[in-house]
Amino acid sequence: MELRQDLKGKDFLNIMDFSTEDLTYMLNVADELKHLSKLGKCPKLLEGKTLGMLFQKSSTRTRVSFETGIYRLGGIGLFLSANDLQIGRGEPIKDTARVLSRYLDGLMIRTYSHDEVLELAHYADMPIINGLTDLLHPCQALADIQTARQYKGTLSGLKLTFIGDGNNVAHSLMNICAKMGMHFSIACPKGHEPQETIVKNAQEVAKRTNGSITILEEPKEAIQNADVVYTDVWASMGQEKEAEERKKVFQKYHVDCELMSYAKKDAIVMHCLPAKRGLEITDEVIESKQSVVFEEAENRLWAQMAIMALLMA
């Protein structure tokens, strides 16, 4: 399997750092790795390479998919807990970055502060992959769009509606929809809109790709004619103390069969998981024929294998 070499050594921090052509190529590589792996022919593109996986936030999908992915590609994944490293005892990020660069071929980090990831990438001499920050979740977005393309056959012109909080997942989805010429709409309560800067940047990109970005308050308005309906938990990791208050604020931002009736009849339903069934989404919807949440979760593996291969091979 031959790979482009121009992405080697780059960081994967933000969807906006890549062109539409780059992202399309990543999706194609992800699909090819998925196909080959299902045939038992996964290429060992990262043989002898080591990926560090630094977690300051706990995870199911991120840890297992990255660890499995690097193994399938012939490399080794090394789990690093912030509690076990000197970074957890106050070592400067710039020191940690330069030390780990001498041991590893790449580093995935899942943390709170996006600025910390930017600083890590600035000082590191290896590719840094953003496994999640409070601002962005680009790996999830790439897997989401891989899933949408798998079920819809194309991306340009599709409408994706996000119901809920303007959080890190919403930010990265907005960015990738803009890049791929899709129509992104989000319904969220006042005070919980996506960051204004991210919205403006995405709108500028969408103008060039014939896509659109729409911020609304009413779920039934946002979901009209949607091809893809997406939701996420009302209280993200780190917002647990706000959970009860958010239940009141987000009460109508609830994907049920009645709300789904306003989307296209063949709309698919996505959720990045873990889901709070009965809150942001009903059990009936997540178990319906329209739900693709488990295929979406599987595609985290293939999308991230593509990212690792392209950055580290």
Q: What is the pLDDT of residues 128-145, one digit of tens each?
A: 999 999 999 999 999 999
User: For the segment 164-198, what is each residue's pLDDT rounded down to a tens digit?
Assistant: 999 999 999 999 999 999 999 999 999 999 999 99
**Is residue 236 predicted with pLDDT exceeding 90?**
no
Joined together, the tokens standing for residue 190 give 């006042």
Q: Is 300 a catalytic residue?
A: yes
Identified catalytic residue from 144, 272, 290, 304: 272
If you average pLDDT over residues 231-253, what whole number do you get? 86
Strands 183-187 and 159-163: parallel
Catalytic residue among 232, 254, 271, 290: 232
Q: Which of 72, 171, 246, 300 is catalytic?
A: 300
pLDDT digit string, tens, across residues 45-81: 999 999 999 998 888 999 999 999 999 999 999 999 8
CB 100 within 8 A of CB 52: yes
pLDDT at residue number 285: 98
Mean residue pLDDT across the chain: 96
**Annotated catalytic residue 254:** no
CA neighbor of 256 nearest in space, from 293, 226, 231, 227: 231
Residue of 61, 72, 110, 183 with catalytic role: 110
Beta strands in the chain (DSSP E): 50-55, 76-81, 106-110, 128-132, 159-163, 183-187, 212-216, 228-231, 268-271
Q: What is the mean pLDDT of residues 264-277?
A: 97
Task: In the chain, count H helices and then E strands.
Answer: 12, 9
- What integer is the mean pLDDT of 102-120? 96
Q: Is 146 a catalytic residue?
A: no
Residue-level pLDDT at 145:
98
**Whole-number percent of the chain with pLDDT over 70:** 99
- State the Cα–Cα distance between residues 300 and 145, nearest whole angstrom: 10
pTM comes to: 0.96
Q: Which two tokens stand for residue 102?
A: 């001498």
Return the pLDDT at 297: 98
User: HSE of 25 in the Cβ direction (CA atoms, 13 Å)?
Assistant: 15
What's the token pair of residue 170? Answer: 């919403």
> Quick one: tokens of 7?
């992405």
Catalytic entry in 140, 146, 290, 304: 140
CB 226 within 8 A of CB 161: yes
Q: Is 177 among the residues known to form the active site?
A: no
DSSP letter (8 states) at residue 212: E
pLDDT band at 237 (very low <50, low <70, confident <90, very high): low
* Residue 84 pLDDT class (50, 70, 90 cuts): confident
Residues 6+ apart with CB under 8 A from 259: 163, 219, 220, 223
Q: Of 18, 6, 49, which is closest to residue 305 (Cα–Cα)?
A: 49
CATH 3.50.50.60 fits 15-136+300-312, yes or no: no
Domain residue ranges of the chain, discontinuous segments joined by +: 15-136+300-312, 138-296
Active-site residue identified among 72, 114, 137, 254: 137
Residue 88 DSSP label: G
Would the CATH topology of 15-136+300-312 be identical to that of 138-296? yes
- Tell whether domain 138-296 is in CATH 3.40.50.1370: yes
